[in-house]
Amino acid sequence: MASLARWCFQHRRIVLASWLLALVGFGVVSGAVGTKYSNNFSLPNTDSTEATALLKASFPSQAGDSEQIVVQARTGTLTVPATQRRVEALLAKVTALPFVTHVTSPYSSTSLISPAGTIGLATVSVDQLPQNVTKAMANTLVTTAQSFATSQLNVQLGGQGVEQGQRSTQGKSEVLGFFFALVILYFAFGRSLLSAVLPLLSAALAIGVGVSIIGLLTHVTSVPLFGPILAVLVALGVGVDYALFIVTRHRRELLAGRDPEESAVVALNTSGRAVLTAGVIVCIALLGMFALQVSFLYGVALSAATVVLLTMLASLTLLPAMLGFIGLKILRPKDRAGRDGVTVTGSGFWDRWAAIVQARSAVLSGAALLLIIVIALPFFSLRLGLSDAGNDPKSSTTRQAYDLLAKGFGPGFNGPLTVVAGLGTPADQTHFEQVLVTVAADRDVASVGVPRVSPSGLVQVAVVYPKSGPSTAATTSLVQRVRHRDIPAAEAGSTLVVHVGGDTAVSLDFSHILSSKMPFFVGIVVLLSFLLLMVVFRSLVIPLTASLMNLLSIGAALGVMTAAFQYGWGKSILDLPEAGPIDVFVPVLLFAILFGLSTDYEVFLVSRMHEEWVHSGDNRRAVARGQAETGRVITAAALIMIFVFVSFIFGGQRVIKEVGVGFSAAIFLDAFVIRTVLVPSLMQLFGPSNWWLPRWLDRILPTFHVEPDDLGPPPASGSGTGPGARPVEVPS
């Protein structure tokens, strides 16, 4: 690491030019070939997938997504001749769109017009699955339909494809993230603007290259539309964290009297090793999503891991090059004037806090642990699902369509179930009719549509409308009863095969798959991280403690999310219309990303402790010094991430708010409770046992130290070598 740092420092022009060339080169190539973002979503061997396959084979027009056009007569009813002519002209225009395969008019059945006659539902079948409906298609459909709206006719659109196409990106979050990062870094570095700008420049350049590479990856694998946004936000956090840690150590060494080159070498040879370790663990956690075997998440994992890897490489190469360009200007003038031959001691708040933790470790560790457990308790009643349009912003067309349908027909019209039957013999049709009779009698069913037979006569399909909304527990229970009670009873003794599909059924199947595979996913990530930390710190206690603490912080974050969104405790603050389940893929993303970020903080904290332990052999001193000297860095990095994710809470979509609440809560608890109180308290209590490793295991493990063995003292005053220096305080 020292050789790499010295080469980058001495050949800084080559390093900077290489990164700029990569930025421009990948950007040009990506712009030339374009991008092919796609939300490919498949759940093999599930009931909903089998239902879709039957529809695709026998009802091709019904195999794609089904969008909704909801019309409302503001005065009179929809059967008034002038109003009916306008609605029929609207439907004719929509039918002519190239991606539309079929349109069902509300006038084709009395069941599609509300009892009051004021609200009607038209269904629009398109030739794409919901996840593949593009923003352009959604906008064309919405614009075409709403061009017929008047003061007398209200036209709103719903459906999963329209909802995805209408969702806006979170561009403001990235801008706010950079702004908050700059402000926090400015004050964290004692009002040194250059020190604050360097971490951001390093992260921004790496992110720029990474986004272009993600665009190229879309031609190789499926990357969802939100993949780059999530990758940028994660990379912004870890990139600033990594550069912040290195720049902090560089400034400390400059204040201790080293020249800029030696200072950069020491910073990379110590903090840089911690950055390398932390970056590898974040990538392991992200790529661990492949263990879930859900193709929807593969592109997310690759995108985020790619950009994290680039930010780590930028911190280890580009950053020392930029430190060479800036030299001593990274310090304020008054610090430059008094830096010769001084040693740096952590002082101020963090020294005092480390002393308090050392003196009251038993009480503080117990209190912190109790607090985390209490916050995590709601997690044990976590219910997973997918957000529906009822959680969209009130001004959106999807939300207004949702509300109109609920008002006119009942909430179940927003989440119908599609019951599809494969008929082996003519007698199976009678068995399927019995299924529908049984389902219609269920207490949670509002109505069952008339079944339709495929042209081949081998498949029948019927639509079931629940009484409750798609994301409610009652609808979930209904699907389970139909699948596990009503259908098996009808299939017995026949060749009938029945499947339940539709968006609500897909949501339940997705939840089941991820829930069943989560333990394996968590186990793989925790095990690999444990092994890596064991190699780095030559300890069993530290990686075990780190793994448990990471799981605690994630459990607490899920507890906060459950209380806010499922219990509805945050409805007014978060502007939520109703309580509901947590979006099924959010806990997966939260675990993968936060486990890596939490390990970042653990590595930064413990690596400084380990360095002191190697030099002094005094555990109490090592823990106190490590906490005092990294506390400000960890909390500053955490504040940046918290502000970034808090900005998500003010976004319109429920799932974005879930990400904002979950991530900001987890980072706050991890940095300000676990790393600041719980971990150092426990390490004080464990004593030298923190660093215990059986000799036989130590012999067989590969060697990788976070700190070098040959780190010498800073130079003496005026000479540049030798011991003997006066202390100076670092601004806190």
What is the per-residue pLDDT across 12-54, written as a single tens digit (0 to 9) for each?
899 999 999 999 999 899 888 887 777 666 777 889 888 888 8
Question: Are 480 and 524 in the same domain?
Answer: no
What is residue 77's predicted lDDT score, i.e. its pLDDT?
A: 92
Question: Are 520 and 558 in the same domain?
Answer: yes
**124 vs 200, 622, 696, CA distance in Å?**
47, 67, 68
Question: Are 626 and 660 in the same domain?
Answer: yes
**Does residue 408 lie in a domain region?**
no
Question: Are 575 and 640 in the same domain?
Answer: yes
CA distance 297 to 295: 5
Question: Are 376 and 521 in the same domain?
Answer: yes
Question: Are 20 and 111 in the same domain?
Answer: no
Q: Give me the residue label for tokens 């971490």.
A: 199
**Does residue 716 lie in a domain region?**
no
User: What is the three-class DSSP state of 126?
Assistant: strand
**61 vs 64, 129, 346, 351, 651, CA distance in Å?**
7, 11, 70, 69, 35
Cα-only R_g, the chain = 30
Q: Give me the residue label for tokens 């259908």.
A: 487
Quote the domain boundaries for residue 521: 345-392+512-704+725-732
- Return the number of other C-beta atoms located less than 10 Å from residue 648's C-beta: 23
**Does residue 410 lie in a domain region?**
no
Angle, alpha carbons 274-277-278 (nearest 5°): 85
**CB 479, CB 417: distance < 8 Å:** yes
Does 454 score more than 50 pLDDT? yes
**Does residue 130 lie in a domain region?**
yes
- Return the number of other C-beta atoms located less than 10 Å from residue 53's C-beta: 15
Between residues 242 and 376, the one the model is more confident about: 376
Question: Are 321 and 430 in the same domain?
Answer: no
**Does residue 409 lie in a domain region?**
no
Domain ends where: 501, 531, 549? Answer: 501
- Tally of domains in the chain: 4
Give me the torsion for CA of 383, 388, 390, 391, rounded to 10°.
Answer: 70
What is the per-residue pLDDT across 696-732, written as a single tens digit (0 to 9) for each?
888 888 876 655 554 545 544 433 333 333 333 333 3
Question: Are 111 and 90 in the same domain?
Answer: yes
| Confidence band, pLDDT 50/70/90 cuts, at residue 651 | low
What is the per-residue pLDDT across 475-523, written as a single tens digit (0 to 9) for each?
889 999 999 998 888 888 788 899 998 878 888 888 888 888 888 888 8
CA distance 425 to 556: 54
- Whether the pTM exceeds 0.85: the reply is no
Sign of the torsion angle spanned by Cα atoms 702, 306, 322, 13 = positive
CA end-to-end span of the chain: 29
> For residue 56, what are the contacts with CB-CB under 8 A and spacing of at least 6?
63
- The CATH number of whichever domain residue 449 belongs to comes to 3.30.70.100
What is the per-residue pLDDT across 389-429, written as a single tens digit (0 to 9) for each?
777 777 789 889 989 998 998 888 888 899 999 888 888 88
**CB 582, CB 537: distance < 8 Å:** no
Joined together, the tokens standing for residue 375 give 């916050």
**Does residue 140 lie in a domain region?**
yes
Joined together, the tokens standing for residue 698 give 């130590």
Question: Are 578 and 681 in the same domain?
Answer: yes
**CB 384, CB 515: distance < 8 Å:** yes
Mean pLDDT across the chain, nearest whole number?
Answer: 83
**CB 236, CB 199: distance < 8 Å:** no
Alpha carbons within 13 A on the beta-carbon side of 630:
32
Question: Are 316 and 372 in the same domain?
Answer: no
Of all residues in the chain, what percent carry a pLDDT higher than 70?
Answer: 90
**Does residue 289 lie in a domain region?**
yes
Question: Are 382 and 516 in the same domain?
Answer: yes
Q: What is the DSSP letter of 113?
A: B
**Closest among 684, 697, 680, 686 to 535, alpha carbons compared:** 697
Does 329 score more than 90 pLDDT? no
Question: Are 568 and 682 in the same domain?
Answer: yes
